[in-house]
Every structure is written in structure tokens, then in C-alpha cells.
Amino acid sequence: MRYLGWLTLVAASLLTGCRHNDENPLVPGASIAAGRAAIQQYNCGVCHQIRGISGADGMVGPPLSGIVRRTLIGGELPNNVANLSAWIRDPQAIEPRSGMPNLGVDSAAARNIVAYLYTLR
């Protein structure tokens, strides 16, 4: 019982570390943590390898590490927040033959997902 105070302090400082920055400067107003949760909710990991998401080691679509440094989305659109969000929301609007399903992701969730993906180096 005597050590609980110290343990709490250590745990609290660790948690503070996790929380200190939830916003990605590249995606203003979006939440990295909410994006992470959305990626888990929509099971993006069954097709994509996504670092930091448990079980996300899919081998159907491309791995998403370093996606922020790529120039093209879906092989045809410039890589920016608007285009990547649009791709996540409705891939067939951009590339009708894409196998990536339209999962009904809303625009806020899509921006949150981009905020998370753009943290992957």
C-alpha cells in the first residue's frame, strides 16, 4: 500500500506522455486518438499494415507506414488531407475499379483517420 502513491505517480506521468499531443499539425482540428479508434472500428487492418494498431497486418492493400511522404493517393491524386479523406470515404468516386470498400465513413472520422495515418513515419 505504501508504494501506491509512487505507482500512481509513475502511471500518471506515463499517461500524460501519451496524451500530450492529440492534434496533428498537418490536419488541424482532427484527433489522432479518435482516428486510431476509427481505424480499429472499421477494421482497416484486415487489408493494410498499420503501425500502432493491434492486429493490423493485412496483405490486401498497401502498407500505410510513411504514407505522409508519398506523392500519390490511389496512384492518381495528389496526396493531401482533402484527397486522402475523400479516398477513405468513397474510393470508387476516384477509382471505380478499386477493391477498397465504401464503409460509410463520415467526413469527421475520415479526417481523424488521416490525422493518425499522417503520424506514421
Partner 1 sequence: MKTPPVTRRLRLAALTLLLAGCHAPMSVFTGAGPAGRALSQLTWVLVAASAVIFVLVTLFMLAAIARRNRGGTDPDLTVHDNRIPIVAGAIIPGVVLLALFMTSVLIERRIPGDASTPAESFTVIGHQWWWGVERDDSASGRRAMWANELHVPVGEPVDLTLLSDDVIHSFWIPQVHGKIDLIPGDTNHIRFVADRPGVYRGQCAEYCGMQHANMAFTLVVESPVAYRAWLSVQRADAKPPTDTLAALGRAQVVNGPCATCHTIRGTTAQGEIGPDLTHVGSRVTLAAGTLPNDLATMEAWVTNAPSLKPGVKMPAMPQFTGLQLRAIAAYLEGLR
Binding site for partner 1 (CB under 8 A): 1, 4-5, 8, 42-44, 46-47, 57-60, 96-101, 103
> CB of 47: closest distance to partner 1 in angstroms?
5
Q: How far apart are the first and last CA of the chain?
A: 42
Instruction: Please report which helix (H) or strand (E) contains residue 72, including its range.
Output: strand 72-73
> CB of 66: closest distance to partner 1 in angstroms?
21
Q: Which three three-digit cell numbers place residue 80?
A: 493531401
> CB of 96: closest distance to partner 1 in angstroms?
8
Of 15 and 46, which CB lies nearer to partner 1 in the complex structure? 46
Bridge partners of 49? Answer: 57
Rounded Cα distance, 26 and 38, in Å: 18
Of 46 and 72, which CB lies nearer to partner 1 in the complex structure? 46
Of 3 and 20, which CB lies nearer to partner 1 in the complex structure? 3
Rounded Cα distance, 117 and 121, in Å: 9
> CB of 30: closest distance to partner 1 in angstroms?
22
Of 34 and 47, which CB lies nearer to partner 1 in the complex structure? 47
- Site of grid cell 508519398: 70
